[in-house]
Structure 1
Amino acid sequence: MVTIYALEGCPYCETVSDRLDEADVDYECEWVPALHSGRDEIKRISGQRAVPVLVDEDRGVTMAESENILEYVDRTLA
């Protein structure tokens, strides 16, 4: 199971979602609050409050930073 934590309207989040769609990866999108102070779940999962964050439960991978996520999708999930 792949989950993406994203903020509506975030261009980096949209890029990651688009790449997952292009790679035909089944994933869930969890929308996070706009205010960083409301992102406790993201902080608990990834150690930071920034998005996007990808969680690949099957492989035990949690990562942030859109460029890293895009590379992971291309290398591992595509």
Structure 2
Amino acid sequence: LTLEELAAVAGLSPFHFLRRFREVQGATPQQVLMSLRLLAAQRQLAAGVAPAEVAAATGLADQAHLTRAFAARYGVTPARYQRQVGAR
């Protein structure tokens, strides 16, 4: 979904929707989407899925994108996270 599509559903201009969303949620729609993707990635990594497959399954551009975003959010790379949780 685009910002314009979300705003149209809410009956607001894209800029007003973005401001209101951020006020209510404390983050932008893009930031919320990335959080959801990284939570899904975390679950899949813990289940032993390969990072490249996780990246594709969660809508991230590639494994490098997953690694950068995951490390920024959780402080560890996906591979290290898998080792820490004893992923199968």
If the length of structure 2 is used for normalisation, what is the TM-score?
0.26
Structure 1-normalised TM-score? 0.29
Larger Rg: 2
Higher helix share: 2
Higher relative contact order (CA 8 A, sep 6+): 1
**Structure (1 or 2) with the greater strand fraction:** 1
